């Protein structure tokens, strides 16, 4: 037992006697002379606190005289359980407000987020919500763990990039075409890479996916060539880039 614990034990044993004034500091120290040095300062402080206690006592007769008043108070206020206390905490109107307000806020928030997602889905490069569209796509990819489903998503996104490309041409935003073509290329490469990563046990589903990607790329090349024929020369370079990207993808697939 170390010194502090031993001292604590001595203090604990002698505390009742100090409180009752039955023992003096010197009398206690005499019993434990080997600990005198460590005991005396602590005993002196304890004695100070014990004396302080006397000055903090309630007035003579206060407790017994106030008891009757307190009992009347107790009788007028019956104990209440958790639910009664919780219910009586607010008025019924306040309860309705407390319940309805968060629901309304939640619904409004859901409406705003939903509208933003829908607007983002219809956006094309250059729109303020376009980055949100790309973010939503990334989230969908991150939440898709099956490789086949992931490949399917990449092919869908590749189609989406072509649609955006066509819309840009129709709207006359030719300056954005090179960037859109690069995005299309990235999506095609990602589709091919994802297709290569389909596990061997899913080989049966791989063949239809290859067919799907081939059809998608063939249609994209056809669509882009038609677009090139009907567009002004300033759009040629951008469209050519997209056609090259689709053709490279098709070649890689073969």
Binder among 33, 37, 61, 79 for other proteins (CB under 8 A): 79
228 contacts 217 by C-beta, under 8 angstroms: no
Angle, vertex CA 152, rays to CA 245 and CA 203, nearest 5: 105
What's the closest the beta carbon of residue 74 comes to other proteins, in angstroms? 4
The secondary structure of residue 23, as a DSSP letter, is: S
Q: Alpha-carbon distance 40 to 46, whole Å?
A: 10
Going by C-alpha positions, the residue among 82, 81, 15, 78 that lies closest to residue 49 is 15
Identity of the residue, 54 or 254, whose beta carbon is nearer to other proteins in the bound complex: 54
65 contacts other proteins (rule: CB under 8 A): no
What's the closest the beta carbon of residue 7 comes to other proteins, in angstroms? 8
What's the closest the beta carbon of residue 81 comes to other proteins, in angstroms? 4
73 contacts other proteins (rule: CB under 8 A): yes
What's the closest the beta carbon of residue 53 comes to other proteins, in angstroms? 5
74 contacts other proteins (rule: CB under 8 A): yes
What's the closest the beta carbon of residue 23 comes to other proteins, in angstroms? 15
Identity of the residue, 57 or 91, whose beta carbon is nearer to other proteins in the bound complex: 57
64 contacts other proteins (rule: CB under 8 A): yes
Binder among 13, 17, 27, 53 for other proteins (CB under 8 A): 53
Going by C-alpha positions, the residue among 28, 25, 21, 11 that lies closest to residue 54 is 21
Q: How many CB atoms lie within 10 A of CB 187?
A: 22
Torsion angle of C-alpha atoms 184, 189, 192, 197, degrees rounded to 10: -130
**Residue pointed to by tokens 């206060």:** 62
Going by C-alpha positions, the residue among 177, 162, 169, 178 that lies closest to residue 222 is 162
219 contacts other proteins (rule: CB under 8 A): no
**Residue pointed to by tokens 């002196």:** 44
What's the closest the beta carbon of residue 90 comes to other proteins, in angstroms? 17
70 contacts other proteins (rule: CB under 8 A): yes
Of residues 16 through 35, those in contact with other proteins by CB under 8 A are 19
196 contacts other proteins (rule: CB under 8 A): no
Q: Exposed, middle or buried, 14 (CB in 10 Å: 0-12/13-18/19+)?
A: buried
89 contacts other proteins (rule: CB under 8 A): no
Give the footprint of other proteins on this chain (CB under 8 A): 4-5, 8, 12, 19, 41-42, 44-46, 48-50, 52-53, 55-59, 62-64, 66-71, 73-75, 77-82, 85
């Amino acid at each position: 037992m170390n010194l502090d614990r031993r001292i604590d034990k001595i203090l604990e044993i002698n505390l009742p006697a100090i409180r009752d004034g039955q023992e003096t500091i010197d009398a206690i120290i005499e019993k434990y002379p080997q600990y005198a040095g460590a005991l005396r300062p602590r005993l002196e402080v304890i004695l100070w606190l014990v004396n302080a206690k006397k000055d903090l006592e309630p007035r003579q007769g206060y407790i017994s005289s106030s008891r009757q008043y307190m009992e009347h108070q107790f009788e007028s206020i019956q104990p209440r359980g958790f639910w009664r206390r919780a219910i009586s905490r607010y008025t019924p109107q306040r309860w309705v407000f407390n319940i309805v307000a968060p629901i309304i806020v939640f619904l409004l928030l859901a409406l705003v987020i939903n509208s933003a997602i829908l607007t983002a889905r219809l956006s094309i490069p250059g729109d303020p919500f376009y980055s949100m569209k790309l973010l939503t796509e990334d989230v969908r990819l991150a939440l898709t763990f099956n490789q086949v489903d992931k490949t399917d998503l990449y092919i869908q996104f590749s189609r989406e990039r072509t649609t955006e490309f066509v819309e840009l041409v129709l709207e006359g935003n030719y300056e954005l075409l090179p960037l859109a073509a690069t995005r299309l290329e990235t999506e095609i490469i990602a589709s091919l890479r994802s297709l290569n990563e389909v596990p061997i046990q899913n080989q049966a589903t791989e063949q239809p996916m290859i067919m799907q990607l081939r059809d998608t790329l063939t249609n994209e090349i056809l669509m882009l060539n038609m677009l090139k024929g009907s567009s002004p020369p300033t759009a040629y370079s951008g469209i050519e880039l997209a056609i090259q990207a689709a053709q490279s993808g098709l070649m890689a697939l073969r």
